[in-house]
Structure 1
Amino acid sequence: MNQSTSAAGANGFRTGFVAIVGRPNVGKSTLLNRLIGQKISIVSSKAQTTRHRVTGIRTDAGAQFVFVDTPGFQTRHRNALNRSMNRSVTQALGDVDVVFFLVEAGRFGEDDRIVLQLLPEGACVVLVINKIDRLRDKSSLLPFIERMSTVFPFAEIVPLSAERGTNVDELIRAATALLPEGQPLYGEDEITDRSERFLAAEFLREKLFRLLGDELPYGMTVEIEKFETEGRLRRIHAAIIVDKPGHKGIVIGKGGERLKRIASEARLELEKLFDGKVFLEVWVKVKSGWADDERALKSLGYE
C-alpha cells in the first residue's frame, strides 16, 4: 500500500490548495521548488521570470499541499502580457485554502502592499519572510516581524531562507494545521499537474534569462511546436519568439554559439527532469507585437 493510499484512509489527513504570492523577484519560485524537493518552476535573478501559474504537489504522511506559484503582480507595464500575468495572480487567489504571502526580510514597500491588498477578504494568510540569510543585521528581524504583525492579521509568520532551506520545515508544520481535512487529490509520486510540453518551454526560457543576462529582450517567449515521445526519448522542436528582428541576432549569437549553448544546457536539464534522452531542436522566430496581442498570447499558452 503506498503512502497516499494509506494516508487517505487515516483520520485527520489534510489536503488543500496554497497560493504563493508576492512582488516580482521575492523568491516565490525558489520556495516552490524547495517545498516539493525538485525544480519545476524556473528561477533567475531577473524580475518577471515566472509568467504562468505553476502547480507543485507535496505529499507528506499527514497532508497533501497543492501549491500554486504565481507571477509577481505587475504594476508598471500595462500590455496584454502583463494583464494576463495579473489575472493569473487574482485567479489563483480565488479558490485556495491558504495564501503564502512572501516578503523580503527587512523590506516592505509599496509594491508589497499592493499585492497584500489583492488578497480576498477573510483569506487565511501566512506571512513568509524570505531571504533571512541575506539580512546583515540579524537583530533587526524581530522588530520587523513585530511591525509586520500590525499590517495584517496573519494566521502565522514564518521567517526562512528558501534558497538555503532554512526553517522551511517550520513553514510546512505551521501550514499543515491550516489545511482542511480531506483525502489526497494526487498520487504521492506526482509533483506537478503541468505537462512535459509546458515544462520544456519553461526550462528553455529559463536558459534564455540566465545566458542572455542584461541583453535579454523582454518581448521574448518560447513556443513548443512539436513534442513527441518514443519510449524514454523525447523529440522536442521549439521556437524562441522575439518581438523585433534585431533581437534575433542577440539570441543566436556569433556563429550561432549562444543559441547552441542555450539549447544544450536546456537539453541537459530536461533529460534530468524527464529521466530519459531528449532531442531538442531550437530556432528563433520574429513575431512582432506578440506581447500585446491577446490572440497570440492565447496560442502561446497564456491565460
Structure 2
Amino acid sequence: METDELTRLATLYYVDGLTQEDLSRTFSISRAKVGRLLKRAQEEGIVEIRVRHHPRDTSELEQQLVTRFRLERAIVSINHKDQDKQRELLAGLVASHLDRILSDGMIVAVGMGRNISSISQHAISSTRRSCQFVCAIGGAYRGGEAMNADHICRRLAARFGGESETLYAPALVVDPQARAALLQNDTVKQTLDHARRAQLALIGIGDINEDSNMVRMGWFTPEEIVAVRQLGAVGDMMGYDFIDLTGQPARTPFADRVIGLSFEDLVRIPNVIAVASEITKTTAVLGALRTGAINTLATTEAIAQSVLSLDEATRPRQGAGVTGISAS
C-alpha cells in the first residue's frame, strides 16, 4: 500500500472513527491486514499516539520547582520504568510546550543529545511559523543524529516551520589553538553570533559517568571522566559546560576544546529550556538549576522529587558552604 493510501486509511480510523471492519470492507482487505497497516502507519511516523497525563498529576511538583529555583516554568512528566518511553513522554510534553510558545521571527538556539533529539521527533504542529533554528554547538559524526545539532535543527524546522542554520565546525577540537582559529572564521562566527541573539535555547543536561554520551562518542575516555569528577564536576550543560553541585563552573582541561555557545552566552538568552529524563542526572540537574541560567526545566517526577530532597539536604545554612556530595 502506497503512503498516500496508508495515510487515508489511518485518517479514517484515527480521525473519522471508522472501525477496522469498516476499513476491511472499504479497502477490500482482511481485518488482519488492516491491523498490520495501522501498525505500519505508526512505525513510519504517519500516526503518532500520545497519552497525556492529567496536569494535576504533576502540578504540585512543578510549582515546588518553580518556587524553589525561581523558574518561569517547570514541565514534569509522570514516571515510566522504560527509559526510552520515559524520554518520549517528556519529549512530547516539551514539544507541545514549544508549539504553544514559538512565534514568527523567533530565533531558537539548539543543543544536542538524546532528549533534545527526541523532542524534534515528537514535535507535531498544525501551525506553520517562520522561526530560525540555529545550531548552538558544532557537529559530531559519532553518536548518530541525536549527537548532531544540525540534524535536530533541520527536523525542528520541518515540524514547526522555518529554517535551520548549520554551525560549520566540529563540536570538539584537539586543542585551544585550533578552537581559537575556528572561532575567528567568518562563517563560524556569524552562526554563533546568530545563536547568541536567540530568544530561546533548547539544551540538554548531562551527567558525569563512564557510560555517558561523551564517552560513547569518544570525546573523552572513562579515565578523563573520572578526573573531571575529581575536580568536582557533577554534570554538564549542553555537552561541555561542566558544573559542580553549587552551580559554579568546574574548570576542566576540556573547556577550551568545544565549539559552541558558552555558559555566559546562555545566561543572556531570555528563555533557556533544559531537559533531562535520566534518573542518573539528579545531581547534574541540581547543579544546573543552581547556576541561575535555566528558565524552564523539563524533567521527570523521580528526578524532580530527588532534586528537591537533595537541594534541601545540601542547601547552605547560616553562612555555611554547600555540603559536597560525591557524584561517583
- Report the TM-score when normalising by structure 2: 0.27
Q: Which has the larger radius of gyration?
A: 2
- Identify, as 1 or 2, the structure richer in helix: 2
Relative contact order (alpha carbons < 8 A, sep ≥ 6): 1 or 2 greater? 1
Q: Under a length normalisation based on structure 1, what TM-score does the superposition of the two structures give? A: 0.28
